[in-house]
């Protein structure tokens, strides 16, 4: 899909599973299991999906998925196998090499969004994208380095330590535009300083849903993940984004939905309608 000077596509960078109850919060299992069947451990199948934005002399990646730095115990817990799906191979399918990436926009440093920031070279953790500038909200950096007991399992030092040592991060403070043609929105309910890229050329507007809208099922307002630190803040943020998205026919990319890459929202009276779309389904 072309938006302004940029060609925008998405890529699946890993497959994994998380507990269905955690994903759907207060929604009873008897309701969500009709939409997505859990396995024997009550886990539901998910993906990590990144955006690739090419243009203006840049190759920009938004988020990097689970990465490959998992021992066998964690691979079993997360039901993930980086040898089957990984970010390097998925980029290769789009003819992009890791050293060609100029910028990595880190929505936040949870392991399923930032795990591919670094990778293993033998036993050594190295930057996956050696020539990239990594962009992150300062508020998320501060939180990631001193999380609460509730969310510290999601913030793993190996996903950013070597980047900081090599001074590869640029920290941002709020919704300033830092790459021409890419605006950002910030939400805080899931975790402080979650960054959502927003691209628009006046006709088409695309919003990266991140963990505000991890799957299509999360468009239901009360469906808020148990992972969120401030669920009532998430609720306000969802309503605000959905109202504007419906009024302006936004495309929302879903980072964890295994079936639906993106949807387009349309105003339908005092509600909104959702249409599934593929970013590469239209004009290239
Ligand atoms: Zn997250």
Model pLDDT for residues 224-282, shown as the tens digit of each residue: 999 999 999 999 999 999 999 999 999 999 999 999 999 999 998 888 999 999 998 65
pLDDT of the residue at 283: 43
Distance 130 CA to ligand 1 centre (A): 24
pLDDT 10s digits, 2-28: 999 999 999 999 999 999 999 999 999
The mean pLDDT value of the chain amounts to 96
Distance 191 CA to ligand 1 centre (A): 7
Sheet with 103-105, edge to edge strand ranges? 2-3, 6-19, 43-55, 58-62, 103-105, 133-137, 169-172
138: nearest Cα among 195, 181, 64: 195
| CA gap 149, 229 in Å, rounded | 11
pLDDT 10s digits, 129-153: 999 999 999 999 999 999 999 999 9
Q: Can you give the pTM of this predicted structure?
A: 0.96
On the 0-12 / 13-18 / 19+ scale of CB atoms within 10 A, 71 is exposed
Residue list, CB under 5 A from ion ligand 1:
110, 211
Min mean pLDDT across 89-98, 198-207, 249-258, 262-271 is at 262-271
Span 98-102, mean pLDDT?
A: 98
Number of domains in the chain: 1
Residue 181 sits in a domain whose CATH number is 3.60.15.10
Domain that includes residue 157, residue range: 2-281
Check pLDDT > 90 for residue 40.
yes
Distance 107 CA to ligand 1 centre (A): 9
pLDDT 10s digits, 75-85: 999 999 999 99
Distance 150 CA to ligand 1 centre (A): 13
Distance 214 CA to ligand 1 centre (A): 9
pLDDT of the residue at 231: 98
pLDDT of the residue at 270: 82
């Amino acid at each position: 899909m072309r938006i302004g000077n940029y060609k925008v596509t998405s890529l699946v960078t890993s497959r994994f599973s998380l507990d269905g109850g955690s994903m759907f919060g207060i929604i009873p299992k008897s309701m969500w299991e009709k939409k997505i069947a859990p396995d024997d451990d009550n886990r539901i199948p998910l993906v990590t999906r990144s955006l690739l934005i090419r243009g203006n002399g840049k190759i920009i990646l938004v988020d990097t998925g689970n990465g490959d730095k998992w021992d066998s115990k964690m691979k079993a817990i997360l039901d993930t196998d980086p040898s089957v799906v990984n970010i390097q191979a998925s980029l290769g399918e789009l003819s992009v090499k890791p050293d060609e990436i100029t910028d990595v926009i880190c929505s936040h440093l949870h392991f399923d969004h930032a795990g591919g920031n670094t990778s293993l070279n033998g036993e050594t953790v190295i930057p996956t994208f050696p020539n990239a500038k990594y962009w992150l909200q300062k508020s998320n950096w501060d939180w990631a380095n001193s999380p609460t007991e509730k969310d510290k399992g999601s913030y793993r030092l190996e996903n950013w330590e070597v980047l900081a040592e090599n001074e590869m991060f640029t920290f941002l403070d709020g919704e300033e535009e830092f790459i021409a043609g890419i605006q950002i929105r910030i939400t805080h309910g899931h975790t402080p300083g979650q960054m959502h890229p927003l691209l628009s050329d006046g006709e088409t507007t695309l919003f990266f849903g991140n963990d505000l809208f991890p799957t299509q099922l999360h468009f239901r307002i009360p469906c808020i993940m148990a992972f969120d630190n401030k669920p009532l803040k998430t609720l306000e943020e969802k309503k605000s984004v959905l109202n504007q998205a419906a009024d302006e026919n936004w495309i929302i990319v879903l980072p964890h939905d295994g079936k639906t890459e993106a949807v387009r929202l349309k105003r339908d009276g005092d509600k909104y309608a959702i249409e599934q779309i593929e970013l590469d389904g239209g004009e290239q």
